[in-house]
């Protein structure tokens, strides 16, 4: 590997360090370039998404204006997330330190074992509103659960193989230590850091094991082979934002892209909730196994996402109930039929902002209206609670966007990209404590983040109005 030596740390005032948000942006741009070069079909998906986004904006001037007002237009074409899978606690622990330097912190715990995928996961992401606004890039990170491999000999063999690799370059390790010691990285160091860290997520055509070992692991679970048999946790997809996921899903085939069968998540709604996602199915790529044996592996794909309002625990419980109902209903032949069935079941989920707010199903941000500002300036206290102030036209409420992931959707994305038969649920289930132990810290509870945003905004408007 070609490595520039790390410069001796020069004591530097914190203001001379590059902001974590900017390092994250350098990183997401570098990942995007690398992935488009590695997986040309992903570049084609991005072009399709760009075109559909442009058409959508042209057809919906109000949406165009809204994105412009929120300063979102310029970032529309940048990726929102990617995903990786690691094999050991030590790898996950080091990743936590790497991502922290880019302002990405573990939020949420996702148990995928229930869906027959032997991993548990978190999302490394910015947690502050301003940081999300600058660049919301997240990495959905899964840790393999070797303890779910039944065959003990195979389990031992997998652990042995994993113990022999270091997924980080020496320079990446040095720069992480340097950043922690200094409390930041200069621009030049940050660029070196991003280049060094990129190596961890690169694709390797050479497997570290022979074909027979790969096949044994593949037979236990295709995901186990993907994690164990390579030099590192190759980025397995990146995900731009679409303004119209239904159209992109529909148009993929005419662009030579093969979409997964259905869009994951809630149906299309007037008031979008949570997260809708779809992907193109992973490509079969040629691999050189130890002993120069040729074979293939499917791991890498492209995905798109469309986000809606974050739901409260009550709203989420209703979502989970309805989603379960739809999963028990007869499987539909195609996405159109699936969406129609979903839409019918989700009629039980209120679809106007007032009901969603009044019933405590979604999280909202409260702000003063112009009239509210004028009222606040008079210094005369307003009376009534938030809903009364909204009715009086002094306060407006806008939905808070969901920034996290959905375990059932994630499992659907995993399954459709592993190919082969799907695995039934594992007997053991969630083990957040073990995951956090590996990570070296607790994951942040996502509901707490949304609740704080909502409560802070409510407190501020009530204070301003003296109510």
Contacting positions for Ni ion (CB under 5 A): 83, 239, 303
Task: Rule CB under 6 A: say whether 402 interacts with ligand OOG.
Answer: no
Q: Which residue is nearest to ligand OOG (CB)?
A: 410
405 binds, among Ni ion, ligand OOG, none (CB under 5 to 8 A by kind): ligand OOG
Structure tokens at 386: 């938030």
| CB under 8 A, 24+ apart: contacts of 61-64 | 63/243
Toward ligand OOG, which CB reaches closer, 176 or 229? Answer: 229
Binding ligand OOG (rule: CB under 6 A), the pick from 27, 42, 140, 435 is 140
For residues 62 and 59, give the distance between their C-alpha atoms in angstroms, rounded to a whole number: 9
For residues 124 and 127, give the distance between their C-alpha atoms in angstroms, rounded to a whole number: 9
Q: Is residue 141 within 8 Å of 121, Cβ to Cβ?
A: yes
Among 23, 14, 374, residue whose Cα is nearest residue 183 = 14
Options 315-323, 393-401, 406-414, 443-451: segment touching ligand OOG (CB under 6 A)? 406-414
Strands 395-399 and 364-368: antiparallel
Q: In what order do the strands lie in the sheet with 138-144?
A: 105-111, 119-125, 138-144, 79-86, 237-240
The nearest distance, CB 277 to ligand OOG, in angstroms, is 5
Task: Rule CB under 6 A: say whether 322 interacts with ligand OOG.
Answer: no
For residues 267 and 272, give the distance between their C-alpha atoms in angstroms, rounded to a whole number: 8
The nearest distance, CB 174 to ligand OOG, in angstroms, is 28
Options 168-176, 206-214, 307-315, 404-412: segment touching ligand OOG (CB under 6 A)? 404-412
Task: Rule CB under 6 A: say whether 414 interacts with ligand OOG.
Answer: yes
Contacting ligand OOG within 15-44 (CB under 6 A)? none
| CB under 8 A, 24+ apart: contacts of 124-133 | 124/95, 124/96, 124/99, 125/81, 125/403, 125/404, 126/21, 126/24, 127/444, 127/449, 129/453, 131/20, 131/21, 131/103, 132/403, 133/71
Binding string, residues 264-283; x marks residues near ligand OOG by CB under 6 A:
-------------x------
In this structure, the chain runs to a length of: 467
Q: Is residue 194 within 8 Å of 27, Cβ to Cβ?
A: yes
Options 47-55, 284-292, 319-327, 403-411: segment touching ligand OOG (CB under 6 A)? 403-411
Toward Ni ion, which CB reaches closer, 276 or 297? Answer: 276
The nearest distance, CB 417 to ligand OOG, in angstroms, is 6
Contacting ligand OOG within 214-243 (CB under 6 A)? 236
The nearest distance, CB 142 to ligand OOG, in angstroms, is 5
Chain contacts with ligand OOG (rule: CB under 6 A): 83, 85, 140, 142, 236, 277, 303, 405, 409-410, 413-414, 417
């Amino acid at each position: 590997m070609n490595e520039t030596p790390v410069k001796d740390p020069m004591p530097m005032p914190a203001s001379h360090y590059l902001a974590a948000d900017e390092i994250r942006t350098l990183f997401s741009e570098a990942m995007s370039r690398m992935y488009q070069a590695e997986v040309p079909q992903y570049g084609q998906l991005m072009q399709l998404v760009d075109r559909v986004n442009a058409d959508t904006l042209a057809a919906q001037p109000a949406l165009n204006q809204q994105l412009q007002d929120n300063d979102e237009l310029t970032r529309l074409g940048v990726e929102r997330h990617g995903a990786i899978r690691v094999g050991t606690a030590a790898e996950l622990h080091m990743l936590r330190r790497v991502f922290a330097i880019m302002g990405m912190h573990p939020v949420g715990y996702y148990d995928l074992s229930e869906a027959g995928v032997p991993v548990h996961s978190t999302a490394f992401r910015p947690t502050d509103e301003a940081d999300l606004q600058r660049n919301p890039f997240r990495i959905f990170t899964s840790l393999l659960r070797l303890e779910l491999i039944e065959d003990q000999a195979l389990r031992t063999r997998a652990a042995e193989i994993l113990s022999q690799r270091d997924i980080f370059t020496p320079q990446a390790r040095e720069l992480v230590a340097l950043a922690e010691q200094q409390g930041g990285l200069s621009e030049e160091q940050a660029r070196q850091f991003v280049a060094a860290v990129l190596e961890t997520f690169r694709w390797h055509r050479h497997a570290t094991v022979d074909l027979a070992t790969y096949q044994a692991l593949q037979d236990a679970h295709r995901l186990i082979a993907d994690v164990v048999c390579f030099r590192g946790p190759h980025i397995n997809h990146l995900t731009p934002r679409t303004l119209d996921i239904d159209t992109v899903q529909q148009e993929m085939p005419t662009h030579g892209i093969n979409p997964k069968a259905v869009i994951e998540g809630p149906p299309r709604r007037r008031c979008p909730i949570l997260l809708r996602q779809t992907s193109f199915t992973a490509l079969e790529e040629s691999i050189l196994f130890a002993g120069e044996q040729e074979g293939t592996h499917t791991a890498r794909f492209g995905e798109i996402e469309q986000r809606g309002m974050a739901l409260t625990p009550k709203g989420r419980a209703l979502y989970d109930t309805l989603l379960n109902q739809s999963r028990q209903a007869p499987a539909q032949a195609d996405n159109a039929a699936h969406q129609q069935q979903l839409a019918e079941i989700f009629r039980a989920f209120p679809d106007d902002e007032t009901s969603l707010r009044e019933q405590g199903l979604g999280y909202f941000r409260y702000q003063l209206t112009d009239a509210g500002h004028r009222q606040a300036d008079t210094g005369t206290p307003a009376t009534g609670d938030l809903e009364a102030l909204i009715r009086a036209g002094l306060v407006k409420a806008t939905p808070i966007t969901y920034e996290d992931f959905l375990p059932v959707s994630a499992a659907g994305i995993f399954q459709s990209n592993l190919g082969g038969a799907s695995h039934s649920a594992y007997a053991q289930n969630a083990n957040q404590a073990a995951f956090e132990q590996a990570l070296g810290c607790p994951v942040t509870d996502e509901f707490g983040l949304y609740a704080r945003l909502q409560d802070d905004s409510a407190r501020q408007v009530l204070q301003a109005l003296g109510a």
